[in-house]
Structures are given as C-alpha cells and as structure tokens.
Amino acid sequence: MPEDPIEHIDFESLNNSAISAPLISHIYTADPSAHVFNGKIYIYPSHDIDAGDAFDDLGSHFAMEDYHVLSMSHPTDTVATDHGLALHVKDVPWASKQMWAPDAAEKDGKFYLFFPAKDQEGIFRIGVAVSNDPAGPFLPQPKAIKGSFSIDPAVFKDDDGSYYMYFGGIWGGQLQRWRNGTFNAGQPESPVAFLPEANEPALFPKVARLTDDLFEFAETPMDLLIIDEQGKPLLQGDTDRRFFEASWMHKYEGKYYFSYSTGDTHYLCYAIGDNPYGPFTYAGRILEPVVGWTSHHSICDFEGKTYLFYHDSSLSKGVTHLRCVKLTELTYDKKGFINTIKPYK
Ligand code: FUB
C-alpha cells in the first residue's frame, strides 16, 4: 500500500509565499463550491477529518461524515463564518460514508445541496438535500438521484433557467467502472483497472439537465467531450490535460468554460465550448499544483470581479486529506483565456 506522501517542505516559508491564507482554520475544509446567494458568498466545502483510514489510491482516507457551510460578506474578509453542521451522513437514508465534494444551487427561494457519498454497497451515488436557508440545515431526499453514479457534482444554472449537473471522477471516484452503463464490480480494486488504454480517448465527465424540482436527472447523463486544437478527443495518456475529477462550469462573455482537475498530475485546467453540452476545446491551466495531492475549485463572480476558490494542505503541513479552503482573484486576458495562477510566489 502506498504511503501518504507528506511533502518535506518548510511550511513557514511556504505560508509566507502563499497567495492566500486559509479562510478558516478551526476545522479542515476542501473542495469549495462558492455561490452568491442573498448578496453574500456562501461556500459549500467538504469537511475533512482524520478517521484513521490508511492512505490509498482509491481515496479511502477521505472519510468525511458531514458538511458545514461557510459564508463571507466580501472576498476581502480574512475569516469566513462557519454555520455549523448542515448535513450528516447518518441522516441520509441511502448513504453509508465518504461525503465528498458537494455543490449547491438556489431555485425559487429554496437552496439545494448536491453531494456524493457511498451507498450501502460501496457505490458512489449523488444525493440532493433542501433547505430554506443557504446555510442549512438541509433535509435529504430519501433516495439518491435515480441513475446517479460517481462523484463531484457541480450544478450550473444557465441564462434560460435550465440547471445542469456536471459530475464524475476516475480512480476512487469510480467513473471507470461505469464504462458499459452498469457498475463493474469486478476485481482488481486497483484505481487504474477498467480505465481506457493510454492511446484511447480519455474518460470524460458527465452532464445531464436536471428536472424542474432539481431532484432528478431530466435525461440520461452524457459524456462531455474535451477535444484538442485539432478537434480530437483528449487521450487517456495525456495526463497533463485529461479529466480526472472536480468539474465546474461557468460562463464568460457568452462562452461556456468547463474546468476540472487532472488528478495525478495536480493541475486545474479548463476547456471552452459554445453550449452546456460541449464539445469543449482544451484551453489551458487555471492553477499550478498546490501542496497536497488533490486540487479542486470553483469560480464565482462578486461585485464585478471573478474569484477562484481552491484548497491546499498547508494548514495540516501537507497531510493529503486535511485541507483548507482559500480564494484568490482570477483574471482573463484580452482573448478570454484565463491567466494561470501560481499558488505560491
Ligand atoms: O474530497 C474528496 C475528493 O478529493 C473530492 O471529491 C475530489 O475532487 C478531491 O478533491
């Protein structure tokens, strides 16, 4: 079994060179999904804990049990407010463990929390919980979304009022086990089993429009194709650019920007398309690698500026599964490409 690759870093100088400080430090948080609701920034993160599970390439050490919602009145706030427990796995009838990266959406004055967790059979599903308050607490639906699988839901509201869910993650996120439409429960339990070969098209994230009540898929989830400059699908072996996990969607000047993590190569990248389904043409990197194995993000506008919410493992001095959420401004060049951010100067 691999060992937790705690990096041997001088954390004092790293923290001095970091472009952002942790937004809260009394709990560990990760995977921040930020939205402006009622004029405030609400952040929906994972709540990292150390449950004592051994580090492995399936992410068993990410053993999160609940969600806390954070808020900020302005991106310049030095500390975010923690609104306390918003949802616990023991209150979700279909879920057993591993409350991974969530997202949220507002519709008609109600707030919806979308979250992945393993069901009783150890299969990742995606659930929905609802509240009248953006900070929760959230009441979960009794069952997971019908036909849902894998991890990292990101819900995007388009200008016409349609809501789309983007999701998926390879390795521990199990997307590779769904290549034939049903869950492949076969052995081995290796993170790279069932993946395409390096010279085959990569596994792509999924997209599906949601029903009007936001509780179900309105259509069967489809592949969201990410192509290169020549119009060819990115290949599985193109690990610096291919999708791994951590979907996000935002719009800039009429174009759709799909962003994601490359996982084992630790980049946050993006691709640009003309509609919510794609195809999306690879366009570059948003964030260079952070301290810690995972990288995850959201992009949110506030008062005319755009912000990248992300995480690193600096607060825990490099422990992979004990992360802290951060934010920094994100800017575009004149052609609409995102200026790549270095997390440490
Ligand atoms: O937080 C658990 C998992 O780590 C997330 O679902 C992934 O995106 C990665 O950040």
Nearest to 295 by CA among 282, 284, 283, 308: 308
pLDDT value of residue 284: 98
Token pair in block for residue 202: 């990569």
Residue 335 domain flag: no
Q: How confident is the model at residue 2 (pLDDT cuts 50, 70, 90)?
A: very low
φ, ψ (nearest 5 deg) of residue 94:
-90, -10
Positive or negative torsion for Cα 290, 296, 299, 302: negative
Q: How confident is the model at residue 135 (pLDDT cuts 50, 70, 90)?
A: very high
Q: Exposed/middle/buried for 333, CB within 10 Å: 0-12, 13-18, 19+? A: exposed
pLDDT in tens, 199-248: 999 999 999 999 999 999 999 999 999 999 999 999 999 999 999 999 99
> Is it the case that residue 15 has pLDDT exceeding 90?
no
What single letter denotes the amino acid at residue 253?
Answer: E
What single letter denotes the amino acid at residue 56?
Answer: D
Sheet containing strand 245-252, strands side by side: 226-227, 280-287, 268-273, 255-261, 245-252
What share of the chain in percent tops pLDDT 70?
98
Domain count, the chain: 1
Q: Provide the domain limits for residue 58.
A: 6-330
Residue 337 domain flag: no
Positive or negative torsion for Cα 147, 152, 153, 156: negative
Residue 117 domain flag: yes
Residue 336 domain flag: no
Question: Which helix (DSSP H) or strand (DSSP E) does residue 18 occupy?
Answer: none
Token pair in block for residue 27: 């709990």
Query: What ligand 1 atom has the least distance to the C-alpha of 151?
Result: 6
Ligand 1 proximity of 290 Cβ (cutoff 6 Å)? no
Residue 70 domain flag: yes
Residue 339 domain flag: no
> Is it the case that residue 11 has pLDDT exceeding 90?
no
Among protein residues, the one with the nearest Cα to ligand 1's atom 4 is 294
Mean pLDDT over 119-132 rounds to 98
Q: At 265, is the secondary structure helix, strand, or coil?
A: helix
pLDDT value of residue 189: 83
Q: How confident is the model at residue 5 (pLDDT cuts 50, 70, 90)?
A: low
Q: Which region holds residue 166: left if phi is over 0, alpha if psi is between -120 and 50, else beta?
A: beta
Mean pLDDT over 88-111 rounds to 98
Ligand 1 proximity of 217 Cβ (cutoff 6 Å)? no
Catalytic residue status for 31: yes
pLDDT value of residue 7: 53
Token pair in block for residue 39: 């004029």
Ligand 1 center to 230 CA (angstroms): 31
Residue 303 domain flag: yes
Residue 340 domain flag: no
> Is it the case that residue 261 has pLDDT exceeding 90?
yes
pLDDT in tens, 101-120: 999 999 999 999 999 999 99
Ligand 1 center to 160 CA (angstroms): 30
Ligand 1 proximity of 245 Cβ (cutoff 6 Å)? yes
Ligand 1 proximity of 117 Cβ (cutoff 6 Å)? no
Residue length of the chain: 345
**Helix ranges restricted to H, the chain:** 11-17
Mean pLDDT over 147-169 rounds to 98
Catalytic residue status for 245: yes
Q: Of residues 82, 103, 245, 312, which has the active-site annotation?
A: 245
Residue 17's CATH number: 2.115.10.20
Q: Exposed/middle/buried for 183, CB within 10 Å: 0-12, 13-18, 19+? A: middle
d(Cα 324, Cα 334) in Å, to the nearest integer?
A: 32
Cα distances (angstroms) measured from residue 172 to each of 83, 167, 195, 208, 244:
29, 14, 12, 22, 10
Ligand 1 proximity of 119 Cβ (cutoff 6 Å)? no
Q: Measured over all CA atoms, what is the biggest interatomic distance in the chain, rounded to whole angstroms?
A: 51
Check: CB of residue 232 under 8 Å from CB of residue 246: no
Among protein residues, the one with the nearest Cα to ligand 1's atom 3 is 100
